[in-house]
Amino acid sequence: MTCCPHCQGADRFFNQRVAAADLRRYQRRGPTGTTGRLLGALTSTGVAGMTLLDIGGGIGVIQHELRAAGVTEITSVDASRAYLALARREAERRGYAADARYVHGDFVALAGQIEAADIVTLDRVVCCYPDMEALMHHAAARARRFLGLVYPRDGWWMKLGVAILNISPRLRRDAFRSFIHPTEAVEGIAAANGLRKTVHHNDPFWQVVLFAR
């Protein structure tokens, strides 16, 4: 396990209580919102027989849904032990845990140990990591066919909202923060790694982007 102070903060923030609530919501409603939109973009390409690297995948919504769509092998890397435990438990319940690998820690620090996959996903992860450039470079380099992102729009209203959101951890002296990274910079790193944008959807707060190689 390798975890920087920021990721240790994420481990505390995304704890057992948060993870259990996320799992209950998913079991009631299935994939919704921007996650559902990203899944739709991926499954429309035909994912049967592909492999998946899900970075910061939480309780594993993308993993479970893409496995049902035909993905064969899954690697989940997350800074939250609670999320990883529930993702594994749900995979066991669905009967595919033997085809999944669960890695706890900072993906950037662990990247040299993580193999490339046909599909790499970061669903609301770019906004939870301070070094966007390193995160995106390592993720894009490991995407053999597709890179799927959900991350915040970089409008002023989002910057204001995140500044307010970060007041509480700052007062607690917690290292975890949320971030708004420039869209142009995120997309530029994907392009520099040989990926072209094929899907881009904006809602008022988030953007869903699929890049293909």
Burial class (CB in 10 A: 0-12, 13-18, 19+), 146: buried
Longest dimension (CA), the chain: 47
Domain residues for 108? 5-212
For residue 8, the one-letter residue type is: Q
Q: In degrees rounded to 5, what are phi and psi of residue 152?
A: -70, 150
Q: Around 210, how many Cα atoms within 13 Å sit in the side-chain half-sphere?
A: 20
**Residues 193, 148, 50, 140, Cα dihedral to 10°:** 20
Query: What global pTM score does this model have?
Result: 0.94
Query: Distance between CA 205 and CA 99 in Å, rounded?
Result: 35
**CATH (domain of 87):** 3.40.50.150
The domain total for the chain is: 1
pLDDT tens for the chain, 213 residues long, are: 455 666 777 777 777 898 899 999 999 999 999 999 999 999 999 999 999 999 999 999 999 999 999 999 999 999 999 999 999 999 999 999 999 999 999 999 999 999 999 999 999 999 999 999 999 999 999 999 999 999 999 999 999 999 999 999 889 888 889 999 999 999 999 999 999 999 999 999 999 999 999
